[in-house]
Amino acid sequence: MIPQLPSSAPFNEAQRWWLNGYLAALLATEDSSEREVAAASAPKQRVLVLYASQSGNSESLAEQFGEAMRGKGFEAPVLGMEDFEAEALQQENYILIVSSTWGEGDPPDNAVDFWEALSAEDFPKLEELHYGVLGLGDSNYLDFCGMGKKFDQRLADLGATRLVPRGDCDTDYEETANAWFESALTALGATQESEKEAGSEQTDGITYSKKHPFPAKLLTNRTLNAADSPRDTRHFEFSLAGSGLSYEVGDVLGIYPKNDPELVDEIVALLGFEPDAPCGESTFKQVLIHDFDIRTVPATLLQKWPTPVEGSFHEVIDLLKAAPVTFESPEAFVSLLRKLGPRLYSISSSPKAHPDEVHLTVAKVTYDFDDRPRKGVCSTYLSDRVNGDGTVRVFLQTAKHFKLPEDPNIPVIMIGPGTGIAPFRAFLEERSVTKAPGKNWLFFGNPHESTDWLYREEVQEWEREGILSQLSTAWSRDQATKVYVQDRMREAGEEFWKWLEEGAAIYVCGDAKRMAKDVDAALRDIIESHGKVSAEEAEVYVSKLKKDKRYQRDVY
């Protein structure tokens, strides 16, 4: 209640009325200021955002969510699981987890130790914790969103409370992810008013991002293999002039491809529609070229197919031929398909060496299967079918999990056969331009030295200049016995171990199914043999390398 002047005060009625109003306004202003100060000083609700990421998608989403939450007044730190001890969950009340899946339902590299600790039988209960889990995956695989499911179930088993049901995202994950995040915000007592993507840049009022890609001019399309090689690896250069976009070595470029018009024509003819038949706001042919995945046949498509089908199918056209269906309209057909998502590629250039440009190293994919020629969607789009104006829709994605050491004195070991050399070309350009004093060692392999040595002239020039301190090549088919990069590692095991003991950081890029596993096994063998430790001690050594960010992988 606001106090009033007593009637006995030595003022007339008009004076008393004016003074009461003045005091009321003064006290109300002071009360409002106090409330504002109290609100400003009140602790913000903390919601920890953790990510388990291999290619950068989960990391990018987590950063986007954290930025949006901070804009709403939350304290929302965003951390990779390698930077957070699982036991510290006992001090948290709210967490959101964004997790991709690796291999056969396994955690990504940056989450291995976290998951191992969390899944221990004696891990303490988390009954004060409220959580939400968003899983990223690919429904083509049996373990679809496997790690997201594991995190969700494990936290529930430990007594934590779900804020929001788990979200399971397929390759076209944006819509599902945004809906899940809105539900999480609602559960936390907030609503999503606006969306801003982390990592986007703005120029002249235009924001270029994943949702608004930049039309980059294709400047160079050059074959890296010799003419008589059966392989076709391309070097692409794009202009970023006028985009305002920037990147660091180790980052990723996203490309929005288009489907092969000849394959689209064949599908349209099989379905019995006219190419220019209306479909949404465009024509049937244009929608199939630009918007939908006509290559992969995930289990979800087979489940929705109007007639019962069994077995697996390589592409949508194989399914159409094996199980013909009459659709009422083009819309009825495309409603069964997944969106045509972007392809992510490791950037093979340093922005310091090539201002306003970004380069890629891409293997053109063509092969025959079931007596039919097949083409990789994005690789053949880039090599043969870019837009009529010579532009390609691109966006940049940060990859915090794959960065050069902050200290330029630290030695760097790079292992990247085939197109895995891409980020290491960028690393070496960066180390050259910045005159980093740290030593550099490159392991590169391909089938034949004479035809498949990618960037040979550049690599040899770095050797001559002393930027590349050591080079180990493996030409798998230039001799009777196949030789791979992991074999070269073991051969140079003593020197490799010396570099490790000097504090070297190891980077691996390329094939995940075989190469990355074989390289990892060779690394452990070197540590055991030359470090003279047991297998268990070698495991601890590797875990420490990962925790210290001295063992980073960009594998696919």
207 pLDDT tier (thresholds 50, 70, 90) = confident
- pLDDT of the residue at 192: 41
- How would you classify residue 24: left for phi > 0, otherwise alpha for psi between -120 and 50, otherwise beta? alpha
- pLDDT of the residue at 105: 82
Indicate if the pLDDT at residue 94 is higher than 50. yes
Indicate if the pLDDT at residue 133 is higher than 50. yes
If one counts every other C-beta atom within 10 angstroms of the C-beta of residue 38, the result is 9
Q: How much of the chain exceeds pLDDT 70, in percent?
A: 89
Say which amino acid occupies 534: S
* 113 contact partners, CB below 8 Å, separation of at least 6: 81, 82, 543, 546, 547
| Range scoring the smallest mean pLDDT among 109-113, 460-464, 477-481 | 109-113
Task: Give the strand pairing for 130-136 and 167-169.
Answer: parallel
Between the CA atoms of 101, 104, 107 and 109, what dihedral angle is there, to the nearest 10 degrees? -100
- pLDDT of the residue at 103: 75
CA-wise closest residue to 546 among 81, 185, 169, 45: 81
Indicate if the pLDDT at residue 36 is higher than 50. no
- pLDDT of the residue at 223: 98
CA-wise closest residue to 316 among 343, 336, 287, 342: 336
* C-alpha span between 368 and 237 (Å, rounded): 29
* C-alpha span between 399 and 417 (Å, rounded): 20
- pLDDT of the residue at 35: 46
- pLDDT of the residue at 461: 98
Residue identified by tokens 């190469």 is 515
- pLDDT of the residue at 174: 86
Kindly tell me the burial class for residue 469, based on how many C-beta atoms sit within 10 Å of its own C-beta (0-12, 13-18, 19 or more): middle
Indicate if the pLDDT at residue 386 is higher than 60. yes
If you average pLDDT over residues 261-283, what whole number do you get?
A: 97
Indicate if the pLDDT at residue 390 is higher than 60. yes
* C-alpha span between 132 and 152 (Å, rounded): 8
Q: How high is the mean pLDDT of the chain?
A: 90
CA-wise closest residue to 233 among 355, 409, 382, 115: 382
CA-wise closest residue to 554 among 98, 250, 253: 250
pTM: 0.84
Measured between alpha carbons, how far is residue 280 from residues 159, 283, 301 in Å? 47, 7, 20
Q: What is the pLDDT of residues 187-204, one digit of tens each?
A: 998 744 434 443 444 445
| Range scoring the smallest mean pLDDT among 34-43, 302-311, 447-456, 469-478 | 34-43
Task: Give the strand pairing for 206-208 and 214-223.
Answer: unpaired
* 171 contact partners, CB below 8 Å, separation of at least 6: 138, 139, 293, 338, 341
Q: Are 457 and 234 a contacting pair, CB within 8 Å?
A: no
If you average pLDDT over residues 299-306, what whole number do you get?
A: 90
Indicate if the pLDDT at residue 50 is higher than 80. yes
Indicate if the pLDDT at residue 341 is higher than 80. yes
* C-alpha span between 152 and 384 (Å, rounded): 44
CA angle 226, 229, 254 (to 5 degrees): 80
Indicate if the pLDDT at residue 38 is higher than 50. no
| Range scoring the smallest mean pLDDT among 31-35, 48-52, 373-377, 412-416 | 31-35
CA-wise closest residue to 26 among 49, 7, 46, 3: 3
- pLDDT of the residue at 194: 39
- pLDDT of the residue at 37: 45
If you average pLDDT over residues 238-256, what whole number do you get?
A: 97
Indicate if the pLDDT at residue 58 is higher than 70. yes
If you average pLDDT over residues 264-280, what whole number do you get?
A: 97
138 pLDDT tier (thresholds 50, 70, 90) = confident
What domains are defined for the chain?
48-187 (3.40.50.360), 201-256+341-397 (2.40.30.10), 261-334 (no CATH), 412-555 (3.40.50.80)
Q: Is 541 helix (H, G, I), strand (E, B) or coil?
A: helix
Q: What is the pLDDT of residues 9-35, one digit of tens each?
A: 655 554 554 556 555 555 554 554 554
Between the CA atoms of 529, 534, 54 and 488, what dihedral angle is there, to the nearest 10 degrees? 10
Indicate if the pLDDT at residue 307 is higher than 80. yes
DSSP character string of 504-522: -EEEEEE-TTTHHHHHHHH
Measured between alpha carbons, how far is residue 322 from residues 299, 300, 534 in Å? 16, 17, 55
CA-wise closest residue to 129 among 43, 47, 70: 47
Which letter does DSSP use for residue 110 in this model? G
If you average pLDDT over residues 215-224, what whole number do you get?
A: 98
Q: How much of the chain exceeds pLDDT 90, in percent?
A: 80
Q: What is the pLDDT of residues 526-538, one digit of tens each?
A: 999 999 999 999 9
If you average pLDDT over residues 492-509, what whole number do you get?
A: 98
